[in-house]
Amino acid sequence: MASKTKKQIGKVANWILTFVLMLVIGLPGLWVVLTAFRPNREILAKPAIWIPEKLSLDNFGKIFGYGVDQIAIPVPSYFANSLIISLTSTAIALLIGMSGGYAFARFRFKRKNGYFLALMLSRTVPGIALSLPIFMVWSRLGLIDTKMGMIIIYVALNIPFTIWLIDGFFRQIPKEMSEAAQVDGCTRWQAFWKIEFPLAKSGVASAGIFAFLTSWNEYALASQLTRSTDSKTLPVGLMDFTAQFTIDWAGMSAMAVIIIVPALILTFLVQKHLIAGLTFGGVKG
Amino acid sequence: MAEILLKDVVKNYGKLEVVHGINLFIEHNEFVVLVGPSGCGKSTTLRMIAGLEDITGGEISIGGTVVNDFAPRKRDISMVFQNYALYPHMSVRENLGFGLKIAKQPKDVIEERVNEAAVILNIEDLMDRTPAELSGGQRQRVAMGRAIVRHPQVFLFDEPLSNLDAKLRVQMRTEIKRLHQKVKTTIVYVTHDQVEAMTMADRIVVMKDGHIEQVGSPLEVFERPVDTFVASFIGSPPMNLIPGEVVMRDGRLHVAFNADQSVPVPASLADKTTEGQKVIFGFRADDLMPDGHAVPIMGEASGLRLTVDIAEPLGTETLLFCQFAGVDIQAKMYNPRMVKPGEVMDFKCALDKTHLFDAASGKSLRG
Ligand SMILES: Nc1ncnc2c1ncn2[C@@H]1O[C@H](COP(=O)(O)OP(=O)(O)OP(=O)(O)O)[C@@H](O)[C@H]1O
Ligand SMILES: [Mg+2]
């Protein structure tokens, strides 16, 4: 009996701890979302109004240029820039990650471990420390304030991780799978796309989400290297809401929601591919 | 016609040569088993036939065509892997039909062939499961089914039974043999289990350290091993091998093991050896049995008195472990009776079935 109650207490404690942790993680997000739908009066009220009295889409209308008091912020261009830069850089990073990961998992070549380590070590340098050198090189190359410039940076940032993650997934697939397919009549290329790729799909999907979110949310480098609607991304655009003495919290929160929603949608879409352990059962037992 | 010819085939991994120029001719519809200890190059040889490994030197032909530069898919072979390598994301039906689908066969042909294979291997009830939902033996069957649907010229098996438990292994052994009788094709089968080799093969190829030691029918390899390696590798228990020297005693050549223990050289070998030669005397446990035994000995017999260390009753026979001239040897007793450790017994050795090997080279003197 005593042990049973003990177990129950443990369980309750567990739940409380989880709840507190989730509160810490989730509450700011929730507050941002709530703020996005509340009028300025409520947001700035002192003492704070905890329970929203009036929710509306006014803030969104405002930043898209509708309604009474407009703010001249080109959100649609920022959104388009973010989308183009993130999707393109993710696609390229995945392509290179897949080729690289496959090569590391399957082929023998000289200094393989050295290259692998070098790739990983490249990620130990904090991105912001690179901003000055990149700025200098990019300005010589004329890549400042271009989408291409940002795409290149994000590809470089994401490749080590995508290679590492995808390598791990290919490594789990016995090489006999591809050999069996080749004996069964496939070329090496067909064997890859028909057998190995479907089995590593969950790894590619995870790498894709990660790469997309990194580019989508990145602020530090983008804020240094983008200037105008040509290349400014959504996170950088958030700063447009700060004037010298005021911050437009309502507009900023509305934009934050605009940033969060596509990321959420994408994660949900890809999530169903994240079923790991698909290789189980193909080999021995 | 699908005969396979290996001509001076060499394989290097980097600087390391692991297969040293092997020559082998496998006939159409023959069941050949490559057998040898771990690391002797059996899998490498098989994979070279399959085209999964490049060959460093020599020539491989299948059905009269040199296939050195052919990709696996051009060789009209199929292979069963040790770990089966079933495609986990496909149902059993899709696994079986995969090769035909790649070959762009029409749907009805695929279905017919898949069903035919399913009937042969008795897996009709499993067709809609995925490999994860199968037992080891069932996976084994599906792997074989996948190999036979394409009606290839050659089947290659790489230790297909080593992941199964002992009972299932014996059962699958007969099934593979039956399969060979049903779908007549050339089979090359790799195993390190000499019992599998003996029971399944038309011809056994014994390999060691990247060389072929002996090629022959199971009985040839068992009865006339060319050297001490084959003698101790094939057959269970392994052949008893005792070092000695050929001497003249009482006007006849004997193999002397020490000052007072010796056996006569069998008449059939008398002219193959000379006085003073260092030899290894070999005989199987079956050819050393207690005196006065119900199983008659054909030909000449020589008497030995030995002390039994351990007796292992196996039912129909009892294995007796004894010491002879400082070497552990085994004898067989067919008349069931309990033997006490330490019991001294008189044995008879069937001399005509014994072997002599040169001590230096290990080669059989029967030549
Ligand atoms: N990819 C490789 N690189 C280097 N050496 C290898 C490679 N594959 C095999 N070898 C070596 O080649 C030799 C033969 O290997 P192989 O796999 O053919 O042996 P095997 O007879 O099949 O043994 P087992 O019964 O253990 O499967 C071994 O010494 C092995 O270490
Ligand atoms: Mg092997």
Per-run averaged pLDDT (10 residues), chain B, 367 residues? 92 93 95 95 96 94 93 94 92 95 94 92 92 91 92 93 87 89 91 93 96 96 95 92 92 87 88 91 91 75 88 89 90 84 89 92 88
pLDDT for res A130: 86
Which chain A residue's Cα is nearest to B131? Answer: A281
B208 close to B37: Cβ distance less than 8 angstroms: yes
pLDDT for res A2: 67
Determine the average pLDDT of the residues in A173-200: 93
**Touching check for B85 and chain A: CB below 8 Å?**
yes
Determine the average pLDDT of the residues in A206-232: 91
Q: How far is the CA of B19 from the centre of ligand 1 (A)?
A: 10
pLDDT for res A70: 58
Nearest CB to B73 within list A174, A186, A281: A186
User: Rounded to an integer, what distance in angstroms lies between the CA atom of residue B78 and that of residue B149?
Assistant: 9
pLDDT for res A108: 86
Q: Is the pLDDT of residue A284 over 70?
A: no
Q: Is the pLDDT of residue A280 over 50?
A: no
User: Rounded to an integer, what distance in angstroms lies between the CA atom of residue A77 and that of residue A84?
Assistant: 10
Pocket of ligand 1 (CB under 6 A): B 13, 18, 36, 38-44, 192
pLDDT for res A68: 60
Q: Where are the domains positioned within chain A? A: 2-60, 75-280
Report ipTM for this prediction. 0.85
Q: Please, which pLDDT band fits residue A240 given cuts at 50, 70 and 90?
A: confident
Q: Please, which pLDDT band fits residue A47 given cuts at 50, 70 and 90?
A: confident
* CA distance to partner chain B, nearest, from residue A170 (Å): 14
Q: Which CATH number fits domain A75-280: 2.30.30.90, 3.40.800.20, 3.40.50.720, 1.10.3720.10?
A: 1.10.3720.10
pLDDT for res B182: 85
Lookup: tokens for B202 = 């038309």
Q: Is the peptide bond before B238 cis (omega within 30 degrees of 0)?
A: no
What is the C-alpha end-to-end distance of chain A, expressed in Å?
A: 41
Mutate to test the pocket of ligand 1, among B12, B15, B18 (most ligand atoms within 8 A of CB): B18
Which chain B residue's Cα is nearest to A188? Answer: B71
Q: Is the pLDDT of residue A278 over 80?
A: no
Beta carbons of B88 and A282 less than 8 Å apart:
yes
pLDDT for res A282: 47
Q: Is the peptide bond before B237 cis (omega within 30 degrees of 0)?
A: yes
User: Rounded to an integer, what distance in angstroms lies between the CA atom of residue B109 and that of residue A239?
Assistant: 65
A183 close to B148: Cβ distance less than 8 angstroms: no
Determine the average pLDDT of the residues in A49-77: 77
Alpha carbon nearest to ligand 1 atom 25, residue: B38
Percent helix, strand, coil in chain A, to 5, is: 75, 0, 25
User: Rounded to an integer, what distance in angstroms lies between the CA atom of residue A159 and that of residue A101?
Assistant: 10
* CA distance to partner chain A, nearest, from residue B154 (Å): 11
Give the orientation angle of helix B166-182 with respect to helix B136-148, to 10 degrees.
Answer: 20
Helix (H) or strand (E) holding A157: helix A147-172
Contacts of B52 in chain A (CB under 8 A): 179, 182-183
Q: Is the pLDDT of residue A279 over 80?
A: no
Q: How many CB atoms lie within 10 A of CB A193?
A: 12
**What is the number of H-type helices and E-type strands within chain B?**
8, 20
Report pLDDT digits (tens) over A115-147.
999 988 988 888 788 889 999 999 999 999 999
Q: Is the pLDDT of residue A156 over 90?
A: yes
Question: What is the Cα Rg of chain A in Å?
Answer: 24
Q: Which domains are present in chain B?
A: 4-233 (3.40.50.300), 240-358 (2.40.50.140)
Its pTM stands at: 0.83
Beta carbons of A177 and B84 less than 8 Å apart:
no
User: Rounded to an integer, what distance in angstroms lies between the CA atom of residue B22 and that of residue A32?
Assistant: 75
Q: How many CB atoms lie within 10 A of CB A60?
A: 19
Contacts of B79 in chain A (CB under 8 A): 179-180, 183
Alpha carbon nearest to ligand 1 atom 17, residue: B43
Interacting residues of B321 by C-beta distance below 8 A, sequence separation 6+: B308, B309, B310, B311, B312, B328, B329, B330
Q: Any alpha helices (H) in chain B, and if so which ranges?
A: 42-50, 92-102, 107-121, 136-148, 166-182, 194-200, 218-223, 228-233
Alpha carbon nearest to ligand 1 atom 7, residue: B13
B19 close to B55: Cβ distance less than 8 angstroms: no
Atom from ligand 1 closest to the CA of residue B45? 18
Nearest CB to B78 within list A183, A194, A282: A183
CA atoms within 13 A on the CB side of A272: 3
pLDDT for res A86: 96
| Residue B122 region by backbone torsions, left for phi larger than 0, else alpha for psi between -120 and 50, else beta | left
Nearest CB to B71 within list A182, A195, A282: A182
* Residue B178 amino acid letter: R
Residue in B178, B181, B212 with CA at minimum distance from that of residue B34: B212
CA atoms within 13 A on the CB side of B203: 15
User: Rounded to an integer, what distance in angstroms lies between the CA atom of residue A241 and that of residue A239?
Assistant: 5
A and B: number of Cβ contacts within 8 A: 88
Q: Is the pLDDT of residue A53 over 60?
A: yes
* Residue A141 amino acid letter: L
Alpha carbon nearest to ligand 1 atom 18, residue: B41
Paired sense of beta strands B65-66 and B77-80, if any: unpaired
Q: Is the pLDDT of residue A72 over 80?
A: no
Residue in B81, B75, B99 with CA at minimum distance from that of residue B2: B75
Phi, psi of A209, deg, nearest 5: -60, -45
Best mutation site among A108, A179, A183, A273 for testing chain B: the one with the most B CBs within 10 Å? A183
Beta carbons of B85 and A180 less than 8 Å apart:
yes
Helix (H) or strand (E) holding A216: helix A197-217
